[in-house]
Structure 1
Amino acid sequence: MNEWKLKRTAMRNYDLTAHLYDMRYAEEQAEKIRAALEKVELGGQSYVLDFGCGTGLLFEYIAERVWMIVGLDFSRKELNEAKKRSRRFGNVHLVLADADYAPLRSGVFTHIFAITLLQNMPNPGKTLNEAKRVAFKNATIIITGLKKRFSLEEFKEILCENGLSIADIMDSDNLKCYIAICFNQHF
């Protein structure tokens, strides 16, 4: 199946289940977010991209601590749920787009979160390169890799082959994914 067919299938699946997503996955996603935030410093000058933001669960954890969040997702219905969640924050902006072709300026984000994104992308390297493109030099990039999709070695290899410097990888038994804290080294 070609890249666009795979993406369209994933988009349709997320559109169909958007209204149930939080009920099914909120706690699992919250565990990933909390684990990542233990290792990441955010502050008032942080300009954050939530790459594949889904229903915007991350917003609740960081919106009051950062300058701005851009949530990007290719599912219109997931973004509708994110819009509901973001109403109480004045610093969240949403973009309907494919993560491989983000309509965003290069080199602007100080932090990028790609939680539960890579396993949905036909070409993870392309997605990582787009994340690097929009990231500020030495930006912190937080990426998860679903354990049933990637072995730890495969996950590390994808990150390193695509020019990310790994600072830490969390591999906890209570998480269904690996969490990598990386730095953008593309300049």
Structure 2
Amino acid sequence: MLSKDKLKQMHGEAYVESFEKEQSQLRLARLISSLPVSKSHNVADFGCGSGMLVPLLSDRVDSYTGIDFSEQFIKAAKIKNQRSGSNINFVCADISKFCSENQDVFDLAFAMDFSEHVYDKEWLNILKAINSSLKEGGRLYIHTPNAEFFLEIMKKHNFIVKQFPEHIAVRDLQSNCDLLKSAGFEIGKTDLIAHYNVLRVLHPISFMPGIGRYFKARIFIEAIKNRRLDDY
């Protein structure tokens, strides 16, 4: 198990540069456009990275706050989104500490392509913290790789392809939902969706009996705060 300091090092300047070059906003745009987002909503983006959600949300919400523990990512986010409106804010902080200082504040929260970077115990604590930052009935949206996808299975066994070193906790749908429930959320909608790059052409196979489960690349979950947990 990697230490917290080691994880921070892995998400330093080199990772930020490669992330900006390789990641496509399409994987998020296809999801965000259909969500019930309102101009009255205060939104938190946990593990915000360089703020890829900003162009998709800034005109649709009252306020957006991006939170990340990486100073390099927050610096990149501020530069990338410096022309965004005054309703956009970025904070470099530990999520649990940030949430303890901002309880019952947000209507919506996002954790997009984030949970796979965090071990179970720490992720559960983060989910509890996020729960405390949401208003009653607030919603958390999670997007993450699916451990049952055939490519993730190959990576797990180091067969032909290797897992990203930063992806230390790729989970299946049930494991994600169990952690959310333990953190005081009820599960709203869930979806298993196609990969956003060329592998999306394989998604029709996911509807085939038997083998279909291995061709669902991404997990998308809507979780709703149904109780507050103060013991994180």
Normalising by structure 2, we get a TM-score of: 0.72
Deviates more, 1:111-120 or 1:69-78: 111-120
2:82 pairs with one of 70, 79, 87: 87
2:103 equivalent among 67, 92, 106: 106
2:17 to 16, 19, 39: 19
Residue by residue, what CA displacement relative to the aligned partner does 1:129-171 show, whole Å, maximum 9, x if unpaired? 0110101111111012322311122112112222211111110
Are 1:57 and 2:98 matched, yes or no? no
- Matching residue of 2:227: 186
CA contact (8 A) 1:73 1:95 kept: yes
1:20-42 residue CA offsets vs partner (Å, 9 max, x unmatched) = 212112x1x531x2343244211
Matched with 2:114 is 117
Residue in structure 1 matching 2:7, options 7, 10, 16: 10
SS for the counterpart of 1:18 is helix
Q: For residues 167 and 43 of structure 1, do their structure 2 counterparts lie closer, same or farther at Cα, with a shift above 3 Å needed?
A: same
SS state at 1:69 partner: strand
Shift of 1:51: 0.4
Distance (Å, rounded) in 2 between the aligned partners of 1:65 and 1:41: 10
Cα separation, 1, equivalents of 2:194 and 2:64:
30
Query: Structure 1 length as normaliser, TM-score?
Result: 0.88
Question: Which one has a bigger Cα radius of gyration?
Answer: 2
CA drift of 1:19 comes to 2.1
**2:33, 2:56 within 8 Å by CA — same for their partners in 1?**
no
Is the Cα–Cα contact under 8 Å of residues 121 and 127 in structure 1 kept in the other structure?
A: no
Q: Match of 2:53, SS?
A: helix
Structure 1: gaps of 5 or more residues: none
User: In structure 2, do the counterparts of structure 1 residues 80 and 10 end up closer, same or farther at CA, with 3 Å as the change threshold?
Assistant: same
User: Does 1:170 find its partner at 2:169?
Assistant: no
Q: 1:70 to 1:80 in 2, by over 3 A?
A: same
CA deviation after TM superposition for structure 1 residue 95, in Å: 0.8
* Cα offset, 1:180, TM superposition: 0.4
Task: State how many pairs are aligned.
Answer: 181
1:43 to 24, 35, 38: 38
Q: Which amino acid aligns with 1:129?
A: K
Identity %, equivalent residues: 19
Q: Structure 2 regions of 5+ residues with no counterpart?
A: 148-169, 197-216
Q: Which amino acid aligns with 2:94?
A: D
Distance between the aligned counterparts of 2:70 and 2:49, measured in 1?
7
**Residue type of the partner of 1:87?**
Q
